[in-house]
Amino acid sequence: MARRIIVIGANAAGVEAASAARKKDRAAEITLLTQEKIAGYSRCGLPFVIGGQIPDFKNLIVYPPAYFQMLKLNLKTETKVIAIDVKTKSVTCVDNSGATLTLPYDSLIIATGADAFMPPIKGREKAGIYSLRTIEDGERIRQAVQNGAKSAVIMGAGLIGLETGVALVERGLKVTIVEMLPQILPQMLDADMAKLVQEHLQEKGMVILTGKTVEEFLGEDKVTAIVASGEKIEADLFISAFGVRANTKLAVDAGIPLGESRAIKTNSRMETDVRDVYAVGDCAEAPNIITHKAVCPQLGTIAVREGKVAGANAAGDYSQFTGVLASAVTRLFEIEAGVTGLTENAATRNRIEVVTGAITSKTKADYYPSAKPVRVKLVVEKESQRIIGGQVVGGEEITQRINALSFAIQKQMTVRELAKADTAYAPPLNETWDPLVLAAEMVLMKLR
């Protein structure tokens, strides 16, 4: 009898898991269940459709219906899973016609993702508060802009909040960012690096208010203003970017344990504590490569890697997930920012004694006409001198530097070894001394 594999969720992690399972088992019956109308699209691209860089939301569809047909994957859209029974190994769902179905499985992969989070703020039940998580969310925000919105308040200065803010400025809106913490990008950058990004955004006309807590939504039926730390801020458009929370309800109701990160607990094969049940993506936790603590960074790159491992294992193969560094990059107007490993703040929270080094250089030879500034910060464990984190902010060439630092951390390179790295040079491409090497030299000076 053919193996029956069910995947709950049909975006990055879910589709990758189903695809990996099909590669390992050509005869398996593989079913994907998703509440959304559209499957297999890139959530990360949503702000760039709003900003106009990408023509339409349909351009974000990475896996069209033909892909699922080609791999013989049974995709059920607009289908809500209401229960998992781990004793009978079955899933109960309701399809778009209202019919209730019970589907048996041999292997189950939970890829339920995460939901936009809204704190318990007074007036949050009022209409007119948007979030950006799905294509439908993106269409609503774009429609509000087309309907004549002239100003927007975005609550939260993480990646999605800032990328959406940039998109709306590019559409001609006056944008105010309200962030509870004292800096923007608090999960991604240390304060000294975040300051460079904030200054660039402010130069582009974005109003950024840090250290402000949203206390109330004002308006009769529809929100017309917020109160943030006693200050009233009016706008036409209000976007909640407080962050997301792992969607674990189905797992909890089925008795599948959560881990210390409050996402679904998994092992190195992405197995949960229940036999033949796997969890991947934004709802699942994985170990941090440096601290070995369970974390849930909720990044697309991590989701697809976890999906590949779980899919192979669900189909009877053996594969392991090695952990995460939570490497991430973004572009905001003309500035790029990236991180890999631990920030200085995160290292301190994990009681790791570190030495840091930062340097400002150029992306090309200083005399080359289009050379742009770039700043590199390294975080090094003091005792072992191993690199455990890096941040880069500048005008260009950020991603490959972050990738290089990610490789260095994974191979447990010391800062002394990085300082001796053999790097390439040409006036239109790089400085004689790469900024990564110069930052390593700064750390060595402190260690001496």
Last residue of a domain, one of 210, 242, 274: 242
State whether 218 and 309 are in the same domain: no
- Considering the domain architecture, whether residues 103 and 252 belong to the same structural domain is answered as yes
In a domain, 320, yes or no: no
What span, in angstroms and rounded, lies between the C-alpha atoms of 117 and 408? 35
Tell me what pLDDT residue 199 has: 98
* Position 323 in a domain: no
421 falls in which pLDDT band (50, 70, 90)? very high
324 is a domain residue: no
What span, in angstroms and rounded, lies between the C-alpha atoms of 413 and 411? 6
Are residues 296 and 412 both part of a single domain? no
Indicate if 123 and 235 belong to the same structural domain: yes
Residue 221 has pLDDT above 90, yes or no: no
pLDDT score of 328: 98
pLDDT value, residue 447: 94
284-308 pLDDT, tens digit per residue, is: 999 999 999 999 999 999 999 999 9
pLDDT for res 367: 94
Same-domain check for residues 215 and 146: yes
Q: What is the pLDDT of residue 381?
A: 98
Q: What are phi and psi of 140, to 5 degrees?
A: -65, -40
Query: What is the reported pLDDT for 426?
Result: 96
pLDDT at 448: 87
Same domain as 153, residue 108: no
Q: Specify if 329 maps to a domain.
A: no
DSSP lists the bridge partners of residue 390 as 340, 378
Neighbours of 196 (CB within 10 A): 16
Residues 6+ apart with CB under 8 A from 322: 268, 289
What domain range is 53 assigned to?
4-114+245-314
> Are residues 127 and 229 both part of a single domain?
yes
| pLDDT over threshold 90, residue 405 | yes
Identify whether residues 299 and 197 lie together within a single domain: no
Q: Are residues 231 and 254 in the same domain?
A: no
- Whether pLDDT at 283 is above 90: yes
> 109 and 250 in one domain?
yes
Q: How many domains does the chain have?
A: 3
Residue among 45, 73, 68 nearest 58 (CA) = 45
Least Cα distance to 440 among 341, 356, 338, 353 occurs for: 356
Last residue of a domain, one of 242, 257, 272: 242
DSSP bridge partners of 238 = 129, 153
Q: Is residue 221 part of a domain?
A: yes
In the predicted model, what is the mean pLDDT of residues 434-447? Answer: 97
Asked if the structure places residue 328 within a domain, the reply is no
Q: Of the candidates 394, 389, 413, 241, which has an alpha carbon nearest to the alpha carbon of residue 327? A: 389
Co-location of 287 and 309 in the same domain: yes
Which of 44, 93, 283, 296 is catalytic? The answer is: 44
* pLDDT attached to residue 256: 98
Last residue within a domain, chosen from 188, 214, 242:
242
Residue 82 in any domain: the answer is yes
User: 């990408």: which residue's tokens?
Assistant: 54
Tokens in use for 178?
């309200």
Question: Is residue 426 situated within a structural domain?
Answer: yes
For residue 236, what are the contacts with CB-CB under 8 A and spacing of at least 6?
144, 148, 149, 150, 151, 152
Task: Please tell me the predicted confidence (pLDDT) of residue 279.
Answer: 98
pLDDT at 246 over 90: yes
pLDDT of 13 > 90? The answer is yes
| pLDDT higher than 90, residue 159 | yes
Q: What CATH number has the domain bearing residue 138?
A: 3.50.50.60
Instruction: Verify whether residue 93 is a known catalytic residue.
Output: no
pLDDT confidence of residue 437 = 97
* 122 lies in the same domain as 107: no
pLDDT band of 123, cuts 50, 70, 90: very high
